[in-house]
């Protein structure tokens, strides 16, 4: 048996988001965002037709939830401010009820020894701004910059860890390439403009934060999905993996950390004549406002091979024109998500950040395992015995430990998620929490076996295995 001992003051905790947990109550003043609207228009797209109004009710139960966080070993916790709660129209009048809620929520966390990490954008575009084009519209960048500055001024005296975006590639992929987020378009030119404006908005927020001279750090949360070639000795496979990495990882990682877009991606977009519209001063602003801290979300790898299938020209150019996904034989799979389980990937990401991105301060901001039908693992005492989740986390933490031993500047590990939460069109299909939610009984909470295990890990600052 080996004891995996983590650095002093390591961040143990979990991540969630406002739109996935808060819910809505009559008179709370929240405006509609794109998820509220999409659910109103097409409830059949959502698993069991459960929409964003029926989340885990954190808006009303947060005080008892903070106590559950203490019981599951949290010394830190990331959530997000809902843009459409603070500014119901995205701009204009502020919702004082939202200010009051976030103030009390932040204070409650701090009073219980849990440091709040606050993210500003988690896929929840205010509907009024989406009606004008959302991230495609330069006006949204200005509105976001004002929103971010408002948050810093309201809460920055207590919140010392800020993040501009969670997984900014996802609104690009989901909304404008693969149709799993609203507005569910398939248009690479629109996707490129959206991604560019998200990057610009992030840089502007960083500029605003540092101008206020607040005593904290600001970063970004990226879902870094390492791209592995089918055959590392085959130049065509290696090139395909490199292009996939440019589209889905380096597109945001490079400007966030280095202040520059990847040259190979820019060359591809230039050849396709779909470079984004931008202003002459933008690139200098992006260069001058890089992140202090990088959050890394890791769930699965991407396996890539050289393009073998015919290119589908139905919707114009797509990233998939340059590579094919490779279904690797014998891989370990989570059957409920269809995702490969590859714990070493977390080590490879941390090594890449150390070797190629200046070893800037970073942390694992999400890592977890979604399972459908967890109720079948509930024991007679009412606890869900999720040993598979404990094994999953332990296997990944061993690789985090290895990266630390080799000099990685990794400061913490956050699970996705604290308690089972609503997850976009999947709703509550797959459960990820350390704490179970019973939707049919007033969202009653029950700590799972993994929650008690996580408390032991945090208390000991490590584990034996």
Q: Residue 67: left if φ>0, alpha if ψ -120 to 50, beta else—which one?
A: alpha
**Nearest C-alpha neighbor of 54 from the set 434, 420, 427:** 427
Question: Considering Cα of 137, then 140, then 145, then 148, what sign does the dihedral take?
Answer: negative
Question: How does strand 302-305 pair with strand 324-325?
Answer: antiparallel
| Sheet of 302-305, strands arranged across | 227-229, 302-305, 324-325
Contacts of residue 313, defined as CB under 8 A and 6 or more positions apart, other chains included, come to none
Question: Can you tell me the distance from the alpha carbon of 372 to that of 377, in angstroms, rounded to the nearest whole number?
Answer: 11
Helix (H) or strand (E) holding 215: none
Question: Can you tell me the distance from the alpha carbon of 61 to that of 400, in angstroms, rounded to the nearest whole number?
Answer: 33
Name the packing angle between helices 235-245 and 263-271 (round to 10°): 90
Provide the annotated active-site residues.
366
Question: Can you tell me the distance from the alpha carbon of 52 to that of 147, in angstroms, rounded to the nearest whole number?
Answer: 22
């Amino acid at each position: 048996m080996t004891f995996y001992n983590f650095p002093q003051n390591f961040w143990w905790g979990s991540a969630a988001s406002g739109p996935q947990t808060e819910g809505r109550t009559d008179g709370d003043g929240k405006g509609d965002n794109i998820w509220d609207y999409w659910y109103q228009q097409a409830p059949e797209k959502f698993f069991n037709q459960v929409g964003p109004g029926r989340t885990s009710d954190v808006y009303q139960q947060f005080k008892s939830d903070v106590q559950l966080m203490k019981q599951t070993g949290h010394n830190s916790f990331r959530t997000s401010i809902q843009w459409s709660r603070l500014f119901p129209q995205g701009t204009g009048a502020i919702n004082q009820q939202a200010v009051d809620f976030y103030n009390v929520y932040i204070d409650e966390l701090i009073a219980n020894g849990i440091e709040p990490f606050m993210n500003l954008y988690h896929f929840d575009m205010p509907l009024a701004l989406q009606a004008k084009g959302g991230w495609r519209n330069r006006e949204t960048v200005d509105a976001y910059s004002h929103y971010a500055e408002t948050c810093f001024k309201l809460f920055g005296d207590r919140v010392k860890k800020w993040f501009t975006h969670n997984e900014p590639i996802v609104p690009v992929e989901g909304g404008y390439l693969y149709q799993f987020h609203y507005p569910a378009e398939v248009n690479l030119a629109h996707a490129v403009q959206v991604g560019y404006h998200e990057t610009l908005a992030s840089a502007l927020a960083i500029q605003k934060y540092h101008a206020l001279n607040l005593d904290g750090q600001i970063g970004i949360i990226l879902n870094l999905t390492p791209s592995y070639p089918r055959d590392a000795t085959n130049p065509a496979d290696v090139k395909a993996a490199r292009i996939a990495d440019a589209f889905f990882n380096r597109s945001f990682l490079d400007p966030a950390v280095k202040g520059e877009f990847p040259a190979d991606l820019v060359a591809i977009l230039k050849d396709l004549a779909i470079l984004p519209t931008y202003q002459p001063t933008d690139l200098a602003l992006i260069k001058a406002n890089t992140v202090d801290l990088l959050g890394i979300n890791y769930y699965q790898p991407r396996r890539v091979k050289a393009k073998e299938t015919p290119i589908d020209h139905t919707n114009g150019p797509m990233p998939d024109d340059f590579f094919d996904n490779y279904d690797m034989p014998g891989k370990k799979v989570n059957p409920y998500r269809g995702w490969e389980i590859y714990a070493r990937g977390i080590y490879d990401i941390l090594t890449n950040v150390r070797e190629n991105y200046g070893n800037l301060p970073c942390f694992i901001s999400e890592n977890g395992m979604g399972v459908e039908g967890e109720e079948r693992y509930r024991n007679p005492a009412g606890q869900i015995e999720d040993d598979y989740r404990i094994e999953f986390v332990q296997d990944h933490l061993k690789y985090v430990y290895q990266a630390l031993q080799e000099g990685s500047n990794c400061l913490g590990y956050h699970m996705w998620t604290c308690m089972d939460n609503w997850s976009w069109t999947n709703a509550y299909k797959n459960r990820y929490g350390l704490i179970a939610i019973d939707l049919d009984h007033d969202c009653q909470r029950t700590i799972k076996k993994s929650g008690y295990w996580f408390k032991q890990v945090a208390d000991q600052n490590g584990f034996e295995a």
